[in-house]
Structure 1
């Protein structure tokens, strides 16, 4: 992949990530102990679906939400995740005049959206057990890293044995800051001139709720009868 310049789309990026993560692949019913791929919705789901399919691993979700600057919501000042996890960028509150009251209001709003997505995407399906499992967290890219940091904290809070972050693209400084927080970091592109994740994809349409639901339904139907998935979740244990 030395000559890789950019990705055609999220699906191709996921297939390429699977090659980097080949040691976790399921082969003849055997796979890395308890390995599971967790997607960060929405854009991370097509990437994670392609990677999990190629690796033969269980796919599920890890829900986190970015906290955007009040007057520029695309600029991340932090993130929140399930279980009360919150990550803030250095200097927040205070950075660019953001107050604690604004942080609290933005967090409350994003937690409502997080709960909405949990109901929409999961329905009545329980969250997967992560304790003592190798958790591979996948997104379509990382910019500031706040959302991924929150995701890692959620996985640690749920007692994952190892946390592996796998993304197609991220800037070097973000990777450097994130690396000490995880057990393994897999990134295919780390460009110095990084403005946004979207610039490294030919096609980067917004992933819809319907697409997320369709991919999850397909994955969950395929993996419903896999013996190793049942073992990973403790269903076949005596």
Structure 2
């Protein structure tokens, strides 16, 4: 199974969510790749669309190997297994964590331009293009939880079975139309998986506000 692109994946995910009953829904696309998916979900549900930002904390010398994640305002979270495998402690990653927190703040400033987003009392759906380790999704879910949503949902078009199970302790509901044991990477489930740019994120947010 492969999606043509993130827009196609978003439509599949939206169909899986259409049967739900949503109270004042807010769809937060996990920047950046989650925004095209979240855009389709928000259109389908008639929901407000905005952005969530969580940054991966990479191992020293191997930034692509995520051992944790951090948001603009929340506490960093770490994958205990990844830390053990790498022989690292959270203290070893403090400077990397702060750099990623600064980047998360920068992105929020760019994407929201000072706009406040109301989360309290709403059904909040955190949407991404897929779920591998789930560390960035976990950070985003915890930050959203602190704002007091009525219900907190994680929604992805495809995800690793084990990670989906683990995040069931963070979200009130996890929705994933295509759950896979043999996951490996998100990109292998897409025919087109180009990097989403800041400009594309801003265009989608602007388009939604005028629809």
TM-score band w.r.t. shorter chain: over 0.9
Q: Which residue of 1 aligns with 2:6?
A: 10
8 Å contact 2:72–2:102 — kept in the other structure?
Answer: no
SS in 1 for 2:141: helix
SS in 1 for 2:115: coil
8 Å contact 2:52–2:140 — kept in the other structure?
Answer: yes
Structure 2: gaps of 5 or more residues:
none
User: What TM-score, normalized to structure 1?
Assistant: 0.84
Give yes or no for the alignment of 1:130 onto 2:126.
no
Query: How far does residue 170 in structure 1 lie from its aligned partner after superposition?
Result: 1.0
Q: Which residue of 1 aligns with 2:86?
A: 96
2:52 to 58, 62, 77: 62
Q: Which residue of 2 aligns with 1:214?
A: 203
Number of aligned positions between the proteins? 211
Distance in 2 separating the partners of 1:155 and 1:124: 18
- Moved >4 Å (runs of 4+): 91-94
Give yes or no for the alignment of 1:201 onto 2:197.
no
1:23 to 19, 24, 30: 19
Change (3 A) 1:96 1:60: same
Distance in 2 separating the partners of 1:42 and 1:220: 18
Query: How far does residue 110 in structure 1 lie from its aligned partner after superposition?
Result: 0.3
Q: Which residue of 2 aligns with 1:229?
A: none
Query: How far does residue 155 in structure 1 lie from its aligned partner after superposition?
Result: 1.2
User: What TM-score, normalized to structure 2?
Assistant: 0.94
8 Å contact 2:28–2:125 — kept in the other structure?
Answer: yes
Query: How far does residue 98 in structure 1 lie from its aligned partner after superposition?
Result: 2.1
8 Å contact 1:65–1:81 — kept in the other structure?
Answer: yes
Give yes or no for the alignment of 1:121 onto 2:117.
no
Distance in 2 separating the partners of 1:99 and 1:34: 41
**Rg: which structure is higher?**
1
